[in-house]
Amino acid sequence: MIVVNKIKGILTSACNNMDTKNATSLTEFVLTGLTYQPDWYIHLFLMFLIIYLITTVGNLGLIALIYNDPHLHIPMYLFLGSLAFVDAWISSTVTPKMLVNFLAKRKMISLSECITQLFSFAFSTTTECFLLATMAFDRYVAICKPLLYSVIMTNRLCIRLSVLSFSNIIHHFYCDIMPLFKISCTDPSINVLMVFIFSGSIQVFTILTVLISYILVLFTILKNKSIQGIRKAFSTCGAHLLSVSLYYGPLLFRYVHPGSAQTDAQDMMDSLFYTVIIPLLNPIIYSLRNKKVIDSLTKVLKRNV
Protein backbone atom coordinates (compact mmCIF):
# COMPACT_ATOMS: atom_id res chain seq x y z
CA MET A 1 0.00 0.00 0.00
CA ILE A 2 1.57 3.27 -1.14
CA VAL A 3 0.29 5.38 1.70
CA VAL A 4 1.59 3.10 4.45
CA ASN A 5 5.15 4.28 3.85
CA LYS A 6 4.23 7.39 5.81
CA ILE A 7 2.15 5.67 8.48
CA LYS A 8 4.92 5.16 11.01
CA GLY A 9 5.84 8.84 10.87
CA ILE A 10 2.20 9.82 11.26
CA LEU A 11 1.74 7.46 14.21
CA THR A 12 4.79 8.72 16.06
CA SER A 13 3.77 12.34 15.51
CA ALA A 14 0.16 11.81 16.60
CA CYS A 15 -0.98 14.21 19.26
CA ASN A 16 -3.82 16.18 20.74
CA ASN A 17 -2.87 19.48 22.28
CA MET A 18 0.72 18.33 22.84
CA ASP A 19 3.99 19.92 21.80
CA THR A 20 6.15 18.29 19.14
CA LYS A 21 8.74 16.99 21.59
CA ASN A 22 6.18 15.05 23.59
CA ALA A 23 4.26 13.91 20.52
CA THR A 24 7.20 12.15 18.90
CA SER A 25 7.92 10.18 22.08
CA LEU A 26 4.52 8.44 22.13
CA THR A 27 4.84 4.67 22.30
CA GLU A 28 1.19 3.65 22.84
CA PHE A 29 -2.34 4.75 22.10
CA VAL A 30 -5.76 4.47 23.74
CA LEU A 31 -8.43 2.57 21.80
CA THR A 32 -11.77 3.99 22.92
CA GLY A 33 -13.69 1.02 21.51
CA LEU A 34 -17.31 0.71 20.50
CA THR A 35 -18.94 2.27 23.54
CA TYR A 36 -18.30 4.49 26.51
CA GLN A 37 -20.84 2.55 28.64
CA PRO A 38 -18.91 0.24 31.06
CA ASP A 39 -22.14 -1.63 31.88
CA TRP A 40 -22.18 -2.99 28.32
CA TYR A 41 -18.63 -4.36 28.29
CA ILE A 42 -19.38 -7.89 29.56
CA HIS A 43 -22.37 -8.31 27.25
CA LEU A 44 -20.41 -7.04 24.25
CA PHE A 45 -17.46 -9.25 25.17
CA LEU A 46 -19.64 -12.37 25.26
CA MET A 47 -21.45 -11.45 22.03
CA PHE A 48 -18.27 -10.78 20.04
CA LEU A 49 -16.52 -13.81 21.56
CA ILE A 50 -19.33 -16.04 20.27
CA ILE A 51 -19.20 -14.32 16.85
CA TYR A 52 -15.43 -14.75 16.71
CA LEU A 53 -15.57 -18.44 17.65
CA ILE A 54 -18.28 -19.14 15.05
CA THR A 55 -16.32 -17.17 12.42
CA THR A 56 -13.08 -19.02 13.14
CA VAL A 57 -14.65 -22.48 13.31
CA GLY A 58 -16.79 -21.78 10.21
CA ASN A 59 -13.95 -20.55 8.01
CA LEU A 60 -11.28 -22.99 9.18
CA GLY A 61 -13.84 -25.82 9.04
CA LEU A 62 -14.63 -24.90 5.43
CA ILE A 63 -10.91 -24.96 4.59
CA ALA A 64 -10.53 -28.39 6.24
CA LEU A 65 -13.59 -29.70 4.38
CA ILE A 66 -12.21 -28.58 1.01
CA TYR A 67 -8.74 -29.93 1.79
CA ASN A 68 -10.00 -33.38 2.86
CA ASP A 69 -12.51 -33.95 0.04
CA PRO A 70 -10.86 -34.78 -3.33
CA HIS A 71 -14.13 -33.89 -5.12
CA LEU A 72 -13.64 -30.28 -4.02
CA HIS A 73 -10.09 -29.99 -5.38
CA ILE A 74 -11.18 -27.80 -8.30
CA PRO A 75 -10.59 -24.06 -8.94
CA MET A 76 -13.92 -22.84 -7.55
CA TYR A 77 -13.25 -24.42 -4.16
CA LEU A 78 -9.58 -23.47 -4.15
CA PHE A 79 -10.68 -19.83 -4.34
CA LEU A 80 -13.40 -20.43 -1.77
CA GLY A 81 -10.84 -21.91 0.63
CA SER A 82 -8.57 -18.91 0.06
CA LEU A 83 -11.49 -16.56 0.80
CA ALA A 84 -12.25 -18.46 4.02
CA PHE A 85 -8.61 -18.09 5.07
CA VAL A 86 -8.65 -14.33 4.43
CA ASP A 87 -11.93 -13.92 6.33
CA ALA A 88 -10.44 -15.73 9.33
CA TRP A 89 -7.35 -13.53 9.00
CA ILE A 90 -9.36 -10.27 8.94
CA SER A 91 -11.40 -11.35 11.95
CA SER A 92 -8.27 -12.42 13.88
CA THR A 93 -6.56 -9.10 13.09
CA VAL A 94 -9.32 -7.06 14.75
CA THR A 95 -11.45 -9.10 17.16
CA PRO A 96 -8.94 -10.50 19.75
CA LYS A 97 -7.64 -7.03 20.70
CA MET A 98 -11.21 -5.73 20.84
CA LEU A 99 -12.17 -8.58 23.22
CA VAL A 100 -9.17 -7.86 25.46
CA ASN A 101 -10.09 -4.18 25.64
CA PHE A 102 -13.64 -4.96 26.75
CA LEU A 103 -12.18 -6.45 29.95
CA ALA A 104 -9.03 -4.34 30.37
CA LYS A 105 -8.93 -1.27 32.59
CA ARG A 106 -6.24 0.32 30.41
CA LYS A 107 -7.42 0.14 26.82
CA MET A 108 -3.97 0.62 25.35
CA ILE A 109 -2.25 -0.55 22.20
CA SER A 110 1.49 -0.15 21.65
CA LEU A 111 2.93 1.62 18.63
CA SER A 112 4.36 -1.63 17.23
CA GLU A 113 1.03 -3.47 17.77
CA CYS A 114 -0.83 -0.62 16.09
CA ILE A 115 1.45 -0.66 13.04
CA THR A 116 1.24 -4.48 12.80
CA GLN A 117 -2.56 -4.42 13.04
CA LEU A 118 -2.84 -1.65 10.46
CA PHE A 119 -0.59 -3.39 7.91
CA SER A 120 -2.27 -6.77 8.50
CA PHE A 121 -5.73 -5.27 8.05
CA ALA A 122 -4.78 -3.31 4.90
CA PHE A 123 -3.15 -6.37 3.34
CA SER A 124 -5.99 -8.78 4.13
CA THR A 125 -8.82 -6.50 2.95
CA THR A 126 -6.97 -5.74 -0.30
CA THR A 127 -6.45 -9.48 -0.78
CA GLU A 128 -10.17 -10.12 -0.33
CA CYS A 129 -11.01 -7.55 -3.04
CA PHE A 130 -8.78 -9.36 -5.56
CA LEU A 131 -10.06 -12.79 -4.50
CA LEU A 132 -13.68 -11.75 -5.07
CA ALA A 133 -12.73 -10.47 -8.53
CA THR A 134 -10.88 -13.72 -9.28
CA MET A 135 -13.90 -15.77 -8.21
CA ALA A 136 -16.13 -13.75 -10.55
CA PHE A 137 -13.72 -14.44 -13.44
CA ASP A 138 -13.78 -18.15 -12.55
CA ARG A 139 -17.60 -18.19 -12.75
CA TYR A 140 -17.47 -16.36 -16.09
CA VAL A 141 -15.16 -19.02 -17.57
CA ALA A 142 -17.22 -21.88 -16.07
CA ILE A 143 -20.54 -20.62 -17.51
CA CYS A 144 -19.53 -18.78 -20.69
CA LYS A 145 -16.72 -21.13 -21.82
CA PRO A 146 -17.55 -24.47 -20.17
CA LEU A 147 -15.72 -26.59 -22.79
CA LEU A 148 -12.51 -24.62 -22.27
CA TYR A 149 -12.82 -24.34 -18.48
CA SER A 150 -10.29 -27.05 -17.64
CA VAL A 151 -7.89 -25.65 -20.25
CA ILE A 152 -8.11 -22.03 -19.05
CA MET A 153 -8.48 -22.55 -15.29
CA THR A 154 -5.56 -24.89 -14.77
CA ASN A 155 -4.33 -25.63 -11.26
CA ARG A 156 -1.18 -23.61 -11.98
CA LEU A 157 -3.21 -20.55 -13.02
CA CYS A 158 -5.49 -20.87 -9.96
CA ILE A 159 -2.53 -21.02 -7.60
CA ARG A 160 -0.96 -17.99 -9.30
CA LEU A 161 -4.20 -15.98 -9.07
CA SER A 162 -4.59 -16.88 -5.40
CA VAL A 163 -0.99 -15.92 -4.61
CA LEU A 164 -1.28 -12.64 -6.53
CA SER A 165 -4.39 -11.79 -4.52
CA PHE A 166 -2.29 -11.92 -1.33
CA SER A 167 -0.28 -9.18 -3.13
CA ASN A 168 -2.73 9.00 21.08
CA ILE A 169 -6.46 8.41 21.61
CA ILE A 170 -7.87 6.61 18.67
CA HIS A 171 -11.65 6.78 18.50
CA HIS A 172 -12.02 3.31 17.10
CA PHE A 173 -11.80 -0.35 18.14
CA TYR A 174 -8.68 -1.13 16.07
CA CYS A 175 -5.84 0.74 14.32
CA ASP A 176 -7.35 1.91 11.05
CA ILE A 177 -5.82 4.51 8.79
CA MET A 178 -8.59 7.15 8.84
CA PRO A 179 -8.83 7.43 12.68
CA LEU A 180 -5.03 7.71 12.78
CA PHE A 181 -5.10 10.56 10.29
CA LYS A 182 -7.58 12.39 12.52
CA ILE A 183 -5.12 12.52 15.43
CA SER A 184 -2.05 13.36 13.37
CA CYS A 185 -0.27 16.64 14.15
CA THR A 186 0.44 17.16 10.47
CA ASP A 187 -2.08 18.04 7.78
CA PRO A 188 -3.30 14.65 6.49
CA SER A 189 -4.91 16.01 3.30
CA ILE A 190 -2.29 14.56 0.94
CA ASN A 191 -2.33 11.19 2.70
CA VAL A 192 -6.15 11.08 2.65
CA LEU A 193 -6.01 11.81 -1.10
CA MET A 194 -3.48 8.98 -1.55
CA VAL A 195 -5.76 6.58 0.34
CA PHE A 196 -8.68 7.71 -1.82
CA ILE A 197 -6.71 7.19 -5.07
CA PHE A 198 -5.12 3.89 -4.07
CA SER A 199 -8.20 2.33 -2.43
CA GLY A 200 -10.41 3.68 -5.18
CA SER A 201 -8.27 2.24 -7.97
CA ILE A 202 -8.18 -1.23 -6.34
CA GLN A 203 -11.91 -1.26 -5.69
CA VAL A 204 -12.85 0.13 -9.11
CA PHE A 205 -10.63 -2.44 -10.85
CA THR A 206 -11.97 -5.41 -8.86
CA ILE A 207 -15.60 -4.25 -9.03
CA LEU A 208 -15.35 -3.75 -12.81
CA THR A 209 -13.91 -7.28 -13.11
CA VAL A 210 -16.88 -8.63 -11.15
CA LEU A 211 -19.44 -6.59 -13.13
CA ILE A 212 -18.02 -7.43 -16.57
CA SER A 213 -17.77 -11.12 -15.66
CA TYR A 214 -21.39 -11.25 -14.50
CA ILE A 215 -22.73 -9.20 -17.39
CA LEU A 216 -21.18 -11.77 -19.76
CA VAL A 217 -22.55 -14.57 -17.56
CA LEU A 218 -26.02 -12.98 -17.72
CA PHE A 219 -25.93 -12.80 -21.55
CA THR A 220 -24.88 -16.45 -21.68
CA ILE A 221 -27.66 -17.48 -19.29
CA LEU A 222 -30.30 -15.61 -21.29
CA LYS A 223 -29.23 -17.42 -24.45
CA ASN A 224 -29.61 -20.75 -22.66
CA LYS A 225 -33.14 -22.08 -23.11
CA SER A 226 -32.69 -24.81 -20.51
CA ILE A 227 -34.51 -23.91 -17.29
CA GLN A 228 -32.32 -26.35 -15.36
CA GLY A 229 -29.16 -24.71 -16.77
CA ILE A 230 -30.41 -21.24 -15.84
CA ARG A 231 -31.22 -22.35 -12.29
CA LYS A 232 -27.82 -23.98 -11.90
CA ALA A 233 -26.03 -20.85 -13.15
CA PHE A 234 -27.96 -18.56 -10.81
CA SER A 235 -27.36 -20.98 -7.94
CA THR A 236 -23.58 -21.03 -8.42
CA CYS A 237 -23.33 -17.27 -8.93
CA GLY A 238 -25.90 -16.17 -6.35
CA ALA A 239 -23.74 -16.81 -3.27
CA HIS A 240 -20.78 -14.95 -4.74
CA LEU A 241 -22.90 -11.97 -5.81
CA LEU A 242 -24.40 -11.72 -2.32
CA SER A 243 -20.94 -11.86 -0.74
CA VAL A 244 -19.59 -9.19 -3.13
CA SER A 245 -22.53 -6.87 -2.44
CA LEU A 246 -22.21 -7.18 1.33
CA TYR A 247 -18.45 -6.65 1.26
CA TYR A 248 -18.10 -3.75 -1.15
CA GLY A 249 -21.01 -1.66 0.15
CA PRO A 250 -19.52 -0.52 3.48
CA LEU A 251 -15.94 -0.71 2.14
CA LEU A 252 -16.68 1.76 -0.66
CA PHE A 253 -18.53 4.05 1.71
CA ARG A 254 -15.64 3.90 4.18
CA TYR A 255 -12.63 4.54 1.96
CA VAL A 256 -13.83 5.90 -1.38
CA HIS A 257 -16.80 8.03 -0.39
CA PRO A 258 -15.58 11.55 0.42
CA GLY A 259 -17.38 10.61 3.66
CA SER A 260 -14.41 11.57 5.62
CA ALA A 261 -17.02 13.77 7.19
CA GLN A 262 -18.64 10.82 8.95
CA THR A 263 -18.79 10.70 12.72
CA ASP A 264 -16.62 8.30 14.70
CA ALA A 265 -19.69 6.19 15.51
CA GLN A 266 -20.62 5.87 11.81
CA ASP A 267 -17.04 4.95 10.94
CA MET A 268 -17.02 2.21 13.56
CA MET A 269 -20.34 0.74 12.42
CA ASP A 270 -19.11 0.56 8.80
CA SER A 271 -15.83 -1.01 9.91
CA LEU A 272 -17.59 -3.47 12.22
CA PHE A 273 -19.60 -4.79 9.30
CA TYR A 274 -16.70 -5.80 7.06
CA THR A 275 -14.23 -6.80 9.81
CA VAL A 276 -16.57 -8.90 11.99
CA ILE A 277 -19.92 -9.57 10.29
CA ILE A 278 -18.77 -10.41 6.73
CA PRO A 279 -16.18 -13.02 7.89
CA LEU A 280 -18.99 -14.59 9.94
CA LEU A 281 -21.51 -14.64 7.06
CA ASN A 282 -19.30 -15.79 4.16
CA PRO A 283 -18.89 -19.47 5.15
CA ILE A 284 -22.63 -19.62 5.87
CA ILE A 285 -23.57 -18.00 2.54
CA TYR A 286 -21.31 -20.27 0.47
CA SER A 287 -22.07 -23.46 2.41
CA LEU A 288 -25.86 -23.17 2.42
CA ARG A 289 -26.04 -22.44 -1.31
CA ASN A 290 -23.52 -25.04 -2.45
CA LYS A 291 -24.68 -28.62 -2.90
CA LYS A 292 -21.16 -30.10 -3.09
CA VAL A 293 -20.13 -28.46 0.17
CA ILE A 294 -23.31 -29.65 1.89
CA ASP A 295 -22.83 -33.20 0.55
CA SER A 296 -19.21 -33.23 1.70
CA LEU A 297 -20.17 -31.94 5.16
CA THR A 298 -22.93 -34.55 5.41
CA LYS A 299 -20.44 -37.33 4.61
CA VAL A 300 -18.05 -36.07 7.28
CA LEU A 301 -20.82 -35.88 9.90
CA LYS A 302 -22.10 -39.38 9.06
CA ARG A 303 -18.58 -40.76 9.23
CA ASN A 304 -18.03 -39.29 12.70
CA VAL A 305 -21.41 -40.20 14.18
Q: For the ranges 105-114, 182-191, 225-234, which has the lowest average pLDDT?
A: 182-191
CB atoms within 10 A of CB 123: 18
- Domains: count for the chain: 1
183-202 pLDDT, tens digit each: 555 555 666 666 677 777 87
116-163 pLDDT, tens digit each: 888 888 888 888 888 988 988 888 888 888 888 888 888 788 888 888
Compute the distance between CA of residue 33 and CA of residue 170 in angstroms, rounded to an integer.
9
The share of the chain scoring above pLDDT 90, in percent, equals: 9
pTM for the whole thing?
Answer: 0.74
Contact 81, 66 (CB under 8 A): yes
Compute the distance between CA of residue 59 and CA of residue 295 in angstroms, rounded to an integer.
17
pLDDT at 215: 86
pLDDT at 56: 93
Confidence band of 36 (pLDDT split at 50, 70, 90):
low
Q: C-alpha angle 137/56/167, rounded to 5°?
A: 40
The parent domain of residue 185 ranges over 2-304
Q: Is the pLDDT reported for residue 53 higher than 90?
A: yes
CATH number at residue 240: 1.20.1070.10
Q: Is the pLDDT reported for residue 305 higher than 80?
A: no
Confidence band of 55 (pLDDT split at 50, 70, 90):
very high
